[in-house]
Amino acid sequence: MGQIFDFLLVNPILNALMALYKVTGNLGISIITLTVIIRTILIPAMAPALKTMKKQRELQPQIDKLKKKHGTDKQALAKAQMDLFKEHGINPASGCLTQIVMITVLIALYNVIRKFTVSADLSAINSSIYFSWLKMAEGATIGTQFLYMNLSKPDPYYIVAILSGVLQFLSGKMMMPYIDQAEKAAKKTPEKSDDFAYAMQQQTTYFLPIMNVIIGITLPSGVMLYIIATTIFSMVQNYFATGWGGLKPLITKLNFVAKKG
């Protein structure tokens, strides 16, 4: 199975990264460029999931009314929500397959970057290169210096790890635009039946960025550069698809302060 995965995804991506490295001569720029190219290619695959997300956000006020109407009757609430989704042509599972495809490709990209930055075994890399002119010459080394970082080692100043956590937090907020409504629904619902879902949202929003920082401190900065690039791309993609989402209150406050200043 691993050989099939390498043949279909890892090796083609590895060749693409090597080609970019040959052109730019800079591994950091090559990683960022390859990440953007692959995420751009995956945009059509992400379209159904983003479309569903946008429709669900537009229906959120009606969903909140259903929660208030049905109270603790979870079966009636679930049926009412499914009827609402069906009425507006929404299939909550429509984006699952595309999400799996995207995650699989990104795992392959992650593995390729690790090959370049962790072990940097040229013989292993060259054995997967399709064309002789792309192969590294015997005795050559891959330049891993980018800005102040050695991409094969963790960032000594933890800047990329912290930046990754901050971006992950902002991205999470964009994906959960109705967290305030969820909190209100939980408080109003008898027996607070929505509290668990709301707590899971909160944990995802705050816990994942913290874990990102902790793990990022130990990972090679080349891998973290990829994570940062793909998170920024996701935020830009989500902005054009569904707007600022949960960041809208913060953006509004910043605009108010800027105008006031």
> Residues 198-230: pLDDT tens digits?
555 566 678 889 988 999 999 889 989 999 999
pTM as predicted? 0.78
Residue 135 has what pLDDT? 92
Could you tell me if 17 and 9 are in contact, meaning their C-beta atoms sit under 8 angstroms apart? no
User: How high is the mean pLDDT of the chain?
Assistant: 81
pLDDT for 146 beyond 80: yes
pLDDT level of residue 163 (50, 70, 90 thresholds): very high
pLDDT level of residue 13 (50, 70, 90 thresholds): very high
- Average pLDDT estimate for 168-174: 87
**Least confident interval from 96-100, 140-144, 174-178, 240-244:** 174-178
Residue 193 has what pLDDT? 47
Most confident of 24-38, 44-58, 68-82: 24-38
**Least confident interval from 3-17, 150-164, 185-199, 222-236:** 185-199
- Average pLDDT estimate for 57-84: 79
